[in-house]
Structure 1
């Protein structure tokens, strides 16, 4: 089967969530607006996640996986997914399922007119500290990038794969995906999506990851923006 859309699912020590991930994503595949496959990227989990992922993939033809030799972080997992996919469109969702797979259909409605469509979490179900730290981090990022995005940390996005593959990823750059698509003269839009409390497992990022990390990454983004090479071929003999 030829898939038009691939959903990347980064996984790091999420054994408590993977059974629900299989159920929710399998249900989504039944209602997906385009032919869709799932790609787990196991970021070097030390729990039983890999065994569960392999069992899921054996049961479901549309599910595949990549296993990292060592833990490399969320941006590396997303980049690996971008590198491996062959479908026209690529997206991702966190394995904690605090966002709903069915909302991908809302994003896909707009992808013909945009190069990246990102969710923005309405009525977030996180703690006060987590919400405030994310709000501050998003404000800092907007000041540096002028991307106009309210919630780049939302783990629900759809990107045209040719644009995704040209993003020069570095650690922490998953927060800058809209800005990096804009560097390619791409069009971006944000669409409200549902948000839910985490039901199982433990979040792998704390307050300092949401504040200090993004601030440092902003300077890396500014350097990259200044050095970024963007070109358009006008004519070729090939």
Structure 2
């Protein structure tokens, strides 16, 4: 099969979620609007996640994995996924399944016209503190990036791989993916999607890395924006 979309699933100590992830992604593959494969990126888990991932990939032909030697964080896991792409499109979903794979089809409806389509978590099923800190962090990022996005941290996105591979990743950049597409003169769009409470496993982000950490990342983004190289070749005889 020639795949068009790779869905990256970063995993860090999600042994209690992975069988449910398998079930949900298998259900999605039956209704996916483009040929799709799944790429687990094990970010140095120290539970049974890797063992489960290998079992899942062994029994499902459209499932693949890479495993990092050490835990490096979400941005590194996403970067590793980008580096191993061989499809036209790349999607991203968290392994906590607080978003639904079925909503990839909503994003894919717009990907021909746009270069990144991201979800906006409607009616979020999170605690008051988590929702408020996320709202504040998103407001701070909009002030710095002017990307117009209401929920840059939403863990459900589809990106054209030609743009994803040009993103110079740094830690925390997963929160700035729309802005990094704009730096490439790409077009972005946000679409409301479903959101669910976490059923199993533990959240990997607390108040510090949900609010204060992103504020520090904004200054790294401004440095990146100032130094970023972007060009378009108008004419060439190098064929």
**Pairwise CA distance, 1:120:** 0.2
**1:90-169 paired onto structure 2 within 5 Å:** 90-169=90-169
RMSD: 0.5
- Which 4+ residue blocks in structure 1 deviate beyond 2 angstroms? none
Q: Report the count of equivalent residues.
A: 238
2:213 corresponds in structure 1 to 213
In structure 1, the residue matched to 2:32 is 32
Counterpart mapping for 1:1-238 below 5 A: 1-236=1-236, 237-238=238-239
Cα offsets for 1:129-153 (capped at 9, x unmatched): 0000000000000000000000011
Gaps of 5+ in 2: none
Structure 1 length-normalised TM = 0.99
How far did residue 235 of structure 1 move?
2.0
User: Does the residue aligned with 1:46 lie in a helix, a strand or coil?
Assistant: coil
TM (normalized to structure 2)? 0.99
Q: Structure 1, unaligned stretches of length 5 or more? A: none
Q: Distance in 2 between matches of 1:65 and 1:134?
A: 30
Provide, for residues 19-70 of structure 1, a one-character-per-residue CA deviation record: whole Å limited to 9, x for no partner: 0000000010000000000000000000000000000000001000010000
What is the alpha-carbon distance in structure 1 between the residues aligned to residue 85 and residue 54 of structure 2? Answer: 18
Question: 2-side partners of 1:92 and 1:179: how far apart?
Answer: 16
Q: Secondary structure at the match of 1:29?
A: helix
Tell me how far 1:16 sits from its aligned partner: 0.1
CA distance in 2, matches of 1:221, 1:201: 31
Q: Which whole-Å deviations, capped at 9, do the CAs of 1:94-122 have from their partners, x for residues lacking one? A: 00000000000000000000000000000
In 1: Cα distance, 2:163 partner to 2:85 partner:
12
Structure-2 separation of matches of 1:42 and 1:53: 8
For 2:28, what is the secondary structure of its paired residue? helix
Displacement after TM superposition at 1:225 (Å):
0.4
Q: CA deviation at 1:233?
A: 1.2
